[in-house]
Amino acid sequence: MTETHASYVALIPLLPLAGATVLGLGGATIQKRFGERAIGAIACATVAASFVLSVVAFAALLGRAPDERLLLAELFTWIDLDPLKVELAFAVDPLSAVMILIVTGIGGLIHLYATGYMHGDQGFWRFFAYLNLFTFAMLTLVLGDSLLLMFVGWEGVGFCSWGLIGFWHKEMANARAGNKAFIVNRVGDFGFLLGMFLLFWALAEVGDGTLTFREIQRQAHLLDGLTFWGWPVATLVTLLLFVGATGKSAQIPLYVWLPDAMAGPTPVSALIHAATMVTAGVYMIGRMNFLFAMAPATLAVVATTGVLTALLAATIATSQTDIKKVLAYSTVSQLGLMFLGMGVGAYAAGIFHLMTHAFFKACLFLGSGSVIHAMGGEQDMRKMGGLRAHLPATSTTFIVSTLAIAGIPPLAGFFSKDEILWQAFSSEHGSPLLYFGGLVVAGFTAFYMFRQVFMVFFGECRADEHTRHHLHESPASMTVPLWILMAGAVVMGFLWIPNVFTPFEHFLEPVLGGHHAAAAAGGHQAHHAVGVELALMAVSVAVAVAGIALAYLMYYRGTIRPEAVSGFAGGWLYRTVLNKYWVDELYELVFVRGLAIGVARMLAWFDAHVIDGIVNAAGAAGRGIGWLIGLFDAGVIDGAVNGVADGAYVAGRSLRRLQSGAITAYLYVIAFGVLGGVFLYWSLAVAS
Amino acid sequence: MGELSLQHFLVLGAVLFCLGVFCVLTRRNAIGILMGIELILNSANLNYVAFARYHGGAYDGQIFAVFVIMLAAAEAAIGLAIVLAIYQGFETIEVDATDRLRG
């Protein structure tokens, strides 16, 4: 791939960083002197400027031939320790172009929304400082030209996520949720790090040690057949990287932090925990797709994990009553679908779903924020209902986005989800079982999302008198982003109409490869499949409609009483789902109580006996040595010092007589001294 | 008698030098000592100029003489200032009496 140098690319991440610096250092003063508006203006302006630059970069890419679509901004050499050499460089290729458009575009809308949502909050400036810093870190993650720079962004978004989940840190539960997210993420990050180390080591063994993506791709074929402790290196590296992805993108077994992360302000949930950060794992697999393609075992793990996570989270979502928890589990489930797409080698489809999901899920979260705003902070759906009359803009956008996520044509979610399901069925890595899992997830998704819609916007209002009296639509700064995001959720799907119009896939082809290439290799097989594909589409639409119908009967008409369903099989099925399969309790028991506290006890014993013993012994030894040195000091050192002083005193007392103060005497000494010297010299000269 | 030769100047210089040294050694008065030093410096000047005159035509010696004159002027100025300061401190300029720094 031929690259073009374009230093403005570096400004895309650096502008939000500048905003974060200004707000972080001077935010309190600015807010006091110029008010919230100035804070909001700075935060929104930096992200908007980044968005404009992203559009410029995107247009620049479109203006080039497909194999020349790479803009590079090299700032400086960051690390130069032979053989490790890392440039601090940002690269825009088709994949990262899509990502920066999502991050700055949707991120900018969420910034705008947050100026309305966070109105009147004491930490207004702190919130936007974090939000800008997050944008910077996320842009570094997607633009970074090497695995190491990506890791910097990877850690940066984790840190900002921690700060924003626990934003209202005076509530202990919020602070705990932030810590949980951070600690669970660290487990995944450890895998990411190990994967990076192993990859670097392996490349240094067979070629040039490097962490730059294009260099890794160029040498990837050298890893073929290389093993480490009997494992193929490519499989091991990709598995370790995938561990990192399960942490960041909330997959089994590390998904437990995401539902708790809803403790943060709702714009944060929309931006970080739905649209951008949690998709980092999907993006990373897309970025390293050439390596994953070399490891079919890893791909199978990715696809299986994805579909299991999607199923697990979708079932849990059906029983939740907190409006944001439903969306959180929905996010986990949709991320699982993306990983299913990645795992069957449909990288472009996975990224496509990432993009459409960013639109409708951000819209859903912001809509739920608008509902919570109107309800005066209430999040329990059982106390809502009939809000459609009071919140016209919010309910319209929310319902359209729900249709999109449920997979109703022709909205965006239909195209992206169906592409993944189709590839899960037809790709060489796919299988009917994976397809069936995805289909069940689609049905559940339609069900729980419409359950939410019916509980929140339709039926009787179950709020108390006071809340009902204060119901109001949100200000324009909050509804405008909703409308724009809804528009995205409606039209984005048309970028990939299977077999008809697929510009999105073509655009990503230079980075991700297309299934056109695979289809060409597979001969006419793709051609026959069009009929099957249409049939499967019809099936998934039918499943979605069935899910919606069930939700309608249960939560709108009341024909089927929810209690009747929850009481099924003695109610234990319902209780299992309601309690999220007791995974949190299991982790608490095994890792926190069992492992952590067991290890802590062991370490405490070790500390008390071994470490303290060593320390005390060292202390006693030190005291003994000190006593000896004290003797030496008093006798020898002090003796020497005093001796010198005494000597100087005695010498001075005798020599002082020489200085009589009589100048004449000095002059005599000088004169006769010179004479004596001359005489001596002369006599010596004569003698020789 | 014949012409003046180098020896005449050297003898005069030596006499002048001895007078200067004698003056420095015997005077009690600080200003007297300074005057003796002037004599010594001028005897050196005389030698410089004489050597310059009788050994080659270069101006080295004369330039040195000018330097020494300049040096003597500076020395006299500083010396007299010191003498004044001594007088203010001791009410005398007898060098035997000014022995406060004696060890």
Instruction: Note the ipTM here.
Output: 0.73
Length of chain A, in residues: 688
The yes-or-no verdict on residue B96 having pLDDT over 90 is: no
Helices (H), chain B: 6-26, 30-54, 60-90
Q: Is A336 left (phi over 0), alpha (psi -120 to 50) or beta?
A: alpha
What is the tens place of the pLDDT at every residue in B19-76? 999 998 888 888 999 999 999 999 999 999 888 888 876 788 888 899 999 999 999 9
Is residue A655 less than 8 Å (CB to CB) from chain B?
yes
The yes-or-no verdict on residue A515 having pLDDT over 60 is: no
The yes-or-no verdict on residue A516 having pLDDT over 60 is: no
CA dihedral A350, A355, A359, A362 (to 10 degrees): 70
Average pLDDT in the A329-345 region?
92
Strands A71-81 and A4-5: parallel
Average pLDDT in the A133-155 region?
93
Q: Do B98 and A663 touch (CB under 8 A)?
A: yes
Average pLDDT in the A356-364 region?
93
The yes-or-no verdict on residue A528 having pLDDT over 70 is: no
A8's tokens: 């403005």
Q: Do A661 and B33 touch (CB under 8 A)?
A: no
Residue A104 confidence (pLDDT): 94
Burial grade of B2 (CB within 10 A; 0-12, 13-18, 19 or more): exposed
Is residue A653 less than 8 Å (CB to CB) from chain B?
no
Mean pLDDT of all residues in chain B?
87
Q: Nearest-CA distance from A651 to chain B in Å?
A: 13
List the single residue in B with minimal CA-CA distance to A668. B25
Picking from A657, A659, A662, the nearest residue to B96 by CB comes out as A662
Whether pTM > 0.80 for this model: the answer is no
Which residues in chain B are contacts of A659 at CB distance < 8 A? 101-103
Mutation target to probe the A interface, by most A beta carbons within 10 A, among B29, B33, B86, B96 is B96
Which residues in chain B are contacts of A658 at CB distance < 8 A? 103
Average pLDDT in the A596-607 region?
84
Residue A327 confidence (pLDDT): 93
Is residue A678 less than 8 Å (CB to CB) from chain B?
no
Residue A84 confidence (pLDDT): 84
Mean pLDDT of all residues in chain A?
87
Confidence class of residue A363 from pLDDT cuts 50, 70 and 90? very high
Confidence class of residue A561 from pLDDT cuts 50, 70 and 90? confident
Q: By C-alpha distance, which of A165, A164, A187 is closest to A244? A: A187
The yes-or-no verdict on residue A273 having pLDDT over 90 is: no
The yes-or-no verdict on residue A149 having pLDDT over 90 is: yes
What is the tens place of the pLDDT at every residue in A393-431? 999 999 999 999 998 888 998 999 998 999 898 888 888
Mutation target to probe the A interface, by most A beta carbons within 10 A, among B18, B19, B21 is B21
Confidence class of residue A523 from pLDDT cuts 50, 70 and 90? very low
